Structure 1
Amino acid sequence: MNLEAARKRLWEARRVAVLTGAGISQPSGIPTFRDAAGLWKDFDIEEYATPAAYARDPQKVWEWYAWRYQNVMQAQPNRAHTLLALLEQRIGEGFLLVTQNVDSLHSRAGSQRLVELHGNIARGRCERCGERFPLPDPAHFVPPPYCPSCKARGRPDVVWFGELLPEGAFEQALWAFAEAEVALVIGTSAEVEPAASLGRLAHSSGAYLIEINPNPTPLSSQADCSLRMGAVEGMEALVGDLG
């Protein structure tokens, strides 16, 4: 498992890149997507998470996202989120956290050097002018929202299947993982591209690669340290003495 070696490398590093997936939010009560109890077990991707679905029935899609938004905002950051925010404070400017999650739990835990590859479920994006804006409190939100600037309808500010990532987001992530001394990949299946390539990039660029996941992934064979634990347990083992 090489836990002590991983801890030592992490404490000595000045450049650390982190990638998180749905597994880090599962302890907060937010379901993952692809496992036996995942979100796509009960809902069809083609009905709720594609541009075609939204074009076909925007109200249906919005009502589903409003339901998810309400559930997500009831969830609270867990210990893994908090420890990553503390790790950022320790590392400073050489730290970047890249997440595939749209639940805003990292920012609510205090993370600031953060790239949200797939957007944020708590925001809308104007269909006309592209402005991003926060959604109303979920208890009072009646979809769809409307742009505060041009009054056009807004869509969920998330990346649907078949869409491009937000401009500049992946480029920032690529740079951080290519330059990292230590790369930490937590709670992701390492199967969804392009995010799945980040761990491989760090490894090929000479970074010490740490994976936290209860299950083996396609990245496991390249990891210098694989902690077969959930996100909270793994982060406690790795950096629990931060606070």
Structure 2
Amino acid sequence: MKEQLNEIIKHVYNKKSRNLFTFLTGAGISAESGIPTYRGVDGIWIKGTKFHKPEEFGTLKYFKENPEEVWQYSLFRKKMFEDAQPNESHREILEIENLMQDKFHLITQNIDNLHKRAGTKRIYEIHGNNREIKCSNGCKGIEKLSVEIKGKDIDEDLTEKDIELLKCKECNSWMRPNILWFDERYDEKTNKRFSALKIAKNSGVLFIVGTSGATNLPITIAETTLKYGGTIVDINTEDNLFTELIKHNKNKIIIRETSTQMLKTIREIMQNIIQE
């Protein structure tokens, strides 16, 4: 497997075109930082005696009917993200970016901000992020979440000041988190859809790390890389939807190990190739 990685990384590094090293990351990469996946243990929102699955409350429809409740959950997640720290996998990806410079791109499904806090700059957050808000009624553009709005404990209500700051200055509708919900489509403004697909088209190798491909844009990114001759390296602890996509394709490497060790190995291979 290491020989295969060395061969494909060297090949892509020496190519003149379609030579990007692209990483696609998901919730699995943040697990070591203590952030459960959205569909995991904390992926059930309990309010009073009501139990909600993410597919129910993680929608624009539910937000418009229950904005305070959804904001309570979002600010609970905000506190969790802020208390977490980037882990070794985030740091290894930063080291790879430093090695590969403009040949490197990171596409992440995570909204937790840990890649940015680790220092990664060439990053596309295709599910949005929790640092920004926008009007739920469609006014104006994307704004930064006010620093006056703090993360909350799971049973903590919004304050009057929170509510004031979370209302649109144009139409007084609720502002909403700038993230992709289950009943929404990917676009370029929030989700960098077209930018991500352009990167996929020009990727010599796409490393998939800690994501199962449960949403459609990540799968389309992988399909696009394969279509234009790139190789998929699937780094996950178990088989997933990407495995189904690539299992009969020759341009693939399937690795069933933790992200931390494999990213270190990939970084060391890249260092050796650059130094040759």
TM over 0.5: yes
Q: Is there any run of 5+ residues in structure 2 with no aligned partner, and where?
A: 14-18, 46-50, 153-157, 272-276
* TM-fit CA distance, 1:23: 0.7
The answer to whether the Cα contact below 8 Å between 2:207 and 2:232 also exists between their aligned partners in 1 is yes
Residue in 1 that maps onto 2:261: 233
The answer to whether the Cα contact below 8 Å between 1:21 and 1:100 also exists between their aligned partners in 2 is yes
2:224 aligned residue (186, 201, 204)? 201
Aligned-partner residue type, residue 253 of structure 2: C
The answer to whether the Cα contact below 8 Å between 2:235 and 2:257 also exists between their aligned partners in 1 is yes
- Counterparts of 1:1-243 in structure 2 under 5 Å? 2-11=1-10, 12-13=12-13, 14-34=19-39, 37=41, 39-40=43-44, 43-127=52-136, 128-136=139-147, 138=150, 142=159, 143-144=162-163, 145-146=165-166, 150=170, 152=172, 153-167=174-188, 169-220=192-243, 221=247, 222=249, 224-239=252-267
The C-alpha deviation readout for 1:69-89, integer Å capped at 9, x for no partner, is 110111111111111112112
In the superposition, relative to structure 1, how do residues 10 and 57 fare at CA in structure 2: closer, same or farther (>3 Å)? same
In the superposition, relative to structure 1, how do residues 200 and 149 fare at CA in structure 2: closer, same or farther (>3 Å)? same
* TM-fit CA distance, 1:151: 8.5
The C-alpha deviation readout for 1:182-234, integer Å capped at 9, x for no partner, is 11111111231122221122122211211110011132214621221122232
In the superposition, relative to structure 1, how do residues 32 and 96 fare at CA in structure 2: closer, same or farther (>3 Å)? same
The answer to whether the Cα contact below 8 Å between 1:126 and 1:146 also exists between their aligned partners in 2 is no
The answer to whether the Cα contact below 8 Å between 1:124 and 1:157 also exists between their aligned partners in 2 is yes
TM-score (norm 1): 0.87
How large is the Cα RMSD of the aligned pairs? Answer: 2.5
> Between the two proteins, what is the percent identity of the paired residues?
25
Aligned-partner residue type, residue 219 of structure 2: A
* TM-fit CA distance, 1:43: 4.1
The answer to whether the Cα contact below 8 Å between 2:132 and 2:142 also exists between their aligned partners in 1 is no
Partners of 2:118 and 2:183 lie apart in 1 by 30
The C-alpha deviation readout for 1:4-38, integer Å capped at 9, x for no partner, is 32134225524112111111111111111345x46
In the superposition, relative to structure 1, how do residues 170 and 25 fare at CA in structure 2: closer, same or farther (>3 Å)? same
Partners of 1:217 and 1:165 lie apart in 2 by 22
Deviates more, 1:126-135 or 1:39-48: 39-48
The answer to whether the Cα contact below 8 Å between 1:21 and 1:187 also exists between their aligned partners in 2 is yes
Q: Is there any run of 5+ residues in structure 1 with no aligned partner, and where?
A: none
Partners of 2:266 and 2:111 lie apart in 1 by 25
User: How many residues in Structure 1 have an aligned counterpart in Structure 2?
Assistant: 240
The C-alpha deviation readout for 1:27-83, integer Å capped at 9, x for no partner, is 111111345x46249742254210111111100110010101110111111111111
Larger radius of gyration: 2
| Local SS of the residue matching 2:233 | strand
The answer to whether the Cα contact below 8 Å between 2:213 and 2:240 also exists between their aligned partners in 1 is yes
| Local SS of the residue matching 1:6 | helix
Partners of 2:261 and 2:52 lie apart in 1 by 30
* TM-fit CA distance, 1:160: 0.7
The answer to whether the Cα contact below 8 Å between 1:124 and 1:156 also exists between their aligned partners in 2 is yes
